[in-house]
Structure 1
Amino acid sequence: MASSQVQALLRFLSQDARVPLATAMGKVAELIKADLSTPEIISKGGSKPLQDIFKDDKLAKQVLNASKRVSKKRAAPAETTTAPSHKRSKGSTSVDTGTPFAIERALALPVSNATEEELSTIVLFTNRAPLVLAFALCVLRYTMPEQPISSRLSLAQAVVSANSRSKAVSLGLEFEQPLEEEAWGEGQPTVSVLGRTIKVLRRWDYNPREGQPAQEFPGIDDILGEFPPEHSEPAPPIWGIDVQATKRVHGPLAKERQETLLPIHTPESARSYLVKSFINAPSETTKQSKRSKRRNHAEIEAEKEACAGHLLRAIDLVCRSWASISSKDDLDRRAWAWYVHVRPSIKNGVEGWGEKGAVKLAQILALKRLPDPAAA
């Protein structure tokens, strides 16, 4: 069985059927051996085979009910199965939209072709959390280049979550320890992103290049992750664990923490948050234009995506300028200092724009490493 099918079965057990992750991983092989490899097949097999495999009537019933629920969802409405569509599959009819390759490609971030001169004139409005997300995403491209975009989005969102939690504690809004100091997810490996310790879940047997066609795709290594250097062991893709959700869902007992599924920060929600969080700062002209002409939803969404692309390009130019002379750890430390330097002030709200503040891309570009005077 292909690794993508194993992943799908494991996903069904752990997410749809709510089987503890450790149990699910141990039962996948038995289910495949019993020819119970999909929810549709499981739903038709009855409870007896599942009772033999799981040795637990309650768990077997749980899996069976989940399989019927999932099968029913996939079967209706029937017309959608005959004409499937995918939002981001333009010009890629040869790509199977269910493969890891297609999933990663659908998560590609907005791209800007603006020159530095053009970027320097742009002022965006946003709040602080999505700006943290943008800085984390950009620096991960250089500190963990082997990770696919799905992993980088998940890790970046984990940084936002940890930062927000620590801020709440420092302001006295919460009185518990910061997330990284708590025992949730204990035993899991960790990585450092923007100086935050992030607990991660290794995605064994996940290959982001599975399903990749022979044709060339521009910038695909940035989406799928770079190949590791020759003779080095490839690092598996990882998820950023949603520690707060783990605590909220599974309660305080250590035994429960070890035996239940660890929630993750999903890349889809992180990407959606990023592309909808930046807008052009309003000038008097744009204010008048917006009053006289109500824009449609598509125009607003297109502007937001373009704004996100401009911001990511500006931050990437800064990261790239330092990457050749900085270690990965040093680049990670610098990135947090850059964010602190340019983060918007939201003390004074702007009429009509809520709690957003201004971010000048010229201020970000000024953080680029200056040319060596001796080399001039």
Structure 2
Amino acid sequence: MAAVELQALLRFLSQDAKVPLATALSKVKELQQANLATPEKLAKVKATEITTMFPDEKMAKVIIAAAKRLTKKRAAGDDSAPSPKKRKKESLVSDDAPTSPADLEASVALPTSTASEAELATMKIFSNRAPLFLAFTVTLLKHTMPEQPLTSRLSLAQAFISTSSRSRAVSLGIQTLERADLEAEERLAMGQPSVMVLGKEIKILRRWGYEWKESGGTGREGVEGSVLDGDQKVGAELLDTGDGNVDGGGQTAAEEQPALWALDLEALRKSNKSDITLANAKAGNNSSLPIYTPQSARAYLLKSFDTPSDGKTLKTSAGARAAVKEQNLGCLLQALDLLYDSWAMALSPVELDKRTWGWYVKVRPEVEQGVAGWGGKNEIRLADILALRRQP
């Protein structure tokens, strides 16, 4: 199979059909031998005809359904337009938009842990690399941008992870991105201010009127005021520095910086105005520009940290598994807090930013190189994170 065809098949299986990449890679040869290496060919068979390759009947049905859906979209000349049913479903969630900063911040609170250091040191969690780096980034921003509320830190961290993952996927050939698309995003970003997160420029929106701190104080417990004043416009976001940039390392006084959203340039390029408005309303963003929502970042974190299998086959309920993952996330964030707190007095925000990649590399799960390791999972030892702390 040609490299282009292989990449196209892997993209279909992993992205459209949601098949784990490791499984997809192991089935490519069988699909080729059965002359079923394209969505168009898969769309013409029944799920029962591929159960020899995909014994999980549910997975087989999902693959065939995805193939039919993608084939139909391609025939209509549209690979991305949401269905009327999906639009109707999205319209039903717009009433869930938070009504105050207090509601919004409370809705994205992350789990905490009261485990002792000794207990943390014995823990192992099971995940892939991207959510781990997201947890690192969210924790880092508590120190490099302490003036920002949690909603902003989640948005900025998700922007960094999403854009970095996209670049990595493009370099591996898993995802394609035309030069025209990049140029379009660059044009859309013109005039927007930015912040630097881990050396990457993140375009932002300033959340005018968002008062989340206690009146006259710096605490995070109380908030007041409206969620947004709805006055965000492209080209009108320049800061006092005059160059449109906000220094994430603290060159601009914290009290001069409003809360921020990370601008989603890819969504702005792809989506129509109604899609953007619905997604923004749920996130508490009243502007007409799409953002990386804190809800999506939080949901990704909550679902990503499982407990390594002990070889037993006991089934647990979805609720029980979700509770375990939430507890694991709380412990991971506690370990990361201990790491960053230990260095906070010795390193500047800029230095913490520079150290983060090296710390992450030392503890990230071991996976195969290249395409084979994309999305791969393995153990993460919290003891390795604790070992990175500054010694007294």
Same-fold status (TM-score > 0.5): yes
Instruction: State how 1:74-85 maps to structure 2 within 5 Å.
Output: none
Aligned to 1:276: 303
Aligned to 1:339: 360
Distance 2:205 2:357 in 1: 24
* Farther-moved stretch of structure 1 (356-365 vs 178-187): 178-187
Aligned to 2:163: 162
- 2:207 is the counterpart of 1:207: no
Distance change >3 Å, CA 221–CA 341, structure 1 → 2: farther
Aligned to 1:31: none
Kept in 1, the 8 Å contact 2:339–2:390? The answer is yes
Per-residue CA distance 1:85-140 (angstroms, 9 max, x = gap): x9xxxxxxxxxx73211220221111011111111111111111111110110000
- 2:88 is the counterpart of 1:100: no
Instruction: State how 1:1-376 maps to structure 2 within 5 Å.
Output: 98-173=99-174, 174=176, 176=178, 182-209=186-213, 220=221, 233-249=255-271, 261-283=288-310, 287-288=311-312, 291-292=313-314, 294-347=315-368, 355-371=376-392
Kept in 2, the 8 Å contact 1:166–1:179? The answer is no
How far is 1:155 from its partner? Answer: 0.6
Across the aligned residues of Structure 1 and Structure 2, the Cα RMSD in angstroms comes to 3.5
Per-residue CA distance 1:159-192 (angstroms, 9 max, x = gap): 1111102212332444557979934322111111
Distance change >3 Å, CA 219–CA 314, structure 1 → 2: farther
User: What one-letter code is carried by the residue in structure 1 that aligns with 2:119?
Assistant: E
Distance 1:221 1:357 in 2: 39
* Secondary structure in structure 2 of the residue aligned to 1:310: helix
Taking structure 1 as the reference length, the TM-score comes to 0.60
Taking structure 2 as the reference length, the TM-score comes to 0.58
Query: Percent identity over the alignment?
Result: 46
User: What one-letter code is carried by the residue in structure 2 that aligns with 1:144?
Assistant: M
Distance 2:171 2:133 in 1: 18
User: What one-letter code is carried by the residue in structure 2 that aligns with 1:313?
Assistant: Q
Q: Which runs of 4+ in 1 moved over 4 A?
A: 72-76, 175-181
Distance change >3 Å, CA 183–CA 360, structure 1 → 2: farther
Kept in 2, the 8 Å contact 1:147–1:238? The answer is yes
Distance change >3 Å, CA 232–CA 122, structure 1 → 2: closer
Kept in 1, the 8 Å contact 2:147–2:255? The answer is no
